Amino acid sequence: MPLARKTVHHLAIGLILLSALLLMGASGDNDPGGKRFDRLGHALMCQCGCGQVMLECNHVGCSSSEQMRKELKAGIDRGDSDQVILAGFVTKYGPTVLSAPTTTGFNRVAWIMPVVIFFVGLIAVALVVVAWKRSTAKNPPPSAPGTANPEMDEFRRRVHEETSL
């Protein structure tokens, strides 16, 4: 009897897993515009002043994101290309509507400068480390007790006399 119970238990678990896999596959957006809507919606910023991506704006009743979603949906339904849709948003709302700067013209600076600043900082840190290393080589640490530095030995003797009980 325990073998039959184990088999039923394994079948039940297998059926549950199969159902879960089927439901995960069915939960996706079946229309091809859904992925495009998501991709383009994440390329645009909400214009209500929240500083969030249009599809991520969490203000209840945000009129800006709702209007922009409708415009995006209409552009996709018309069959406009991605560039035409984004250009329309830039024309209406300005270049700040884009969540990432374009890679043309002066906007390239926004992509290049972080890398340049990183490497300049890396070189600056390396130069500081080399300078510190050279300065410690020129100025050796003070001598240990009992070495040939009579001035330091005198200070150590006085410190010992004044602090001993």
Confidence category of residue 142, pLDDT binned at 50, 70, 90? low
- Tell me what pLDDT residue 125 has: 97
Q: Is the pLDDT of residue 165 over 80?
A: no
Confidence category of residue 26, pLDDT binned at 50, 70, 90? very low
Cα distance between the two ends of the chain:
87
Q: Mean pLDDT across the stretch 28-57?
A: 80
Q: In terms of C-beta distances under 8 Å and separation of at least 24 residues, what long-range contacts does 148-152 make, across chains too?
A: none
- Tell me what pLDDT residue 27 has: 45
Helix residue ranges, H only, 27-107: 32-41, 63-78, 82-93
Torsion angle, CA of 92/34/80/70, rounded to 10 degrees?
A: -40
CATH topology of domain 33-100: Helicase, Ruva Protein; domain 3 (1.10.8)
47 or 2, greater pLDDT:
47
Q: Is the pLDDT of residue 18 over 70?
A: no
Distinct helix (H) and strand (E) counts, the chain: 6, 0
Tell me the pTM.
0.49
pLDDT, tens only, 62-77:
888 888 999 999 999 9
- Tell me what pLDDT residue 58 has: 84
Q: Which of 6, 10, 89 is nearest to 45 (CA)?
A: 89
pLDDT, tens only, 90-139:
999 888 888 887 777 787 888 899 999 999 999 999 999 999 988 876 76
118 or 148, greater pLDDT:
118
- Tell me what pLDDT residue 102 has: 75
- Tell me what pLDDT residue 140 has: 61
